Amino acid sequence: MRVEAEIGYGSVGYDSLTVSGVKFDVSGDADLYTGTVNAFYDFDTGTAITPYIGAGAGVASMESSNIGVAGITFQGDDSTDAMVLGEVGLKYAVTENVSVGIAYRYNHVFDGENDIDDNAAHLFKLSLTYGF
């Protein structure tokens, strides 16, 4: 079992929107800042390969710029909301202190009421870990 505190940052830019086959130019962006506490369980296989599973919880702060769609501007918004995550992955021990890994993570941000307008992200991660 291992526990970590994590700080994250992500950014997305808006380029286009398609509605009923009609494409509109879109401008704007959104930044996401996260802080979570995560716990992971490593399965000891007796080999250099270690599968793991984990979960975490914390907060997400989203800052959205004004968004322009087909010449119409919509007001941006900022919010701070609860978030949870789940992760599965594999690590390969290159040496006693160094490992490389691959993982899939699902993030869910509770920014709507009754799960309406919540945000989710599917992330694929590559990692290089050095242990002391």
pLDDT at res. 120: 86
Does the structure show a pLDDT above 90 at 17?
no
Residue ranges of the domains in the chain? 2-130
Cβ burial of 114 (10 Å; 0-12, 13-18, 19+) is: exposed
Q: Which CATH number fits domain 2-130: 3.60.40.10, 2.40.160.20, 1.10.3720.10, 3.30.390.30?
A: 2.40.160.20
d(CA 131, CA 97): 5
User: Residues 58-116: pLDDT tens digits?
Assistant: 999 988 888 888 778 888 888 899 999 999 999 999 999 999 999 999 999 987 766 55
Amino acid in the structure at residue 39: A
Copy the structure tokens of residue 67.
Answer: 């968004």
pLDDT at res. 94: 97
pLDDT at res. 113: 67
- Tokens 């002391």 locate to 132
pLDDT at res. 117: 66
User: Residues 30-56: pLDDT tens digits?
Assistant: 888 999 999 999 999 999 999 999 999
| Mean pLDDT score, 5-22 | 87
| Mean pLDDT score, 109-125 | 79
Interacting residues of 32 by C-beta distance below 8 A, sequence separation 6+: 8, 9, 10, 11, 12, 60, 61, 62, 109
pLDDT at res. 131: 85
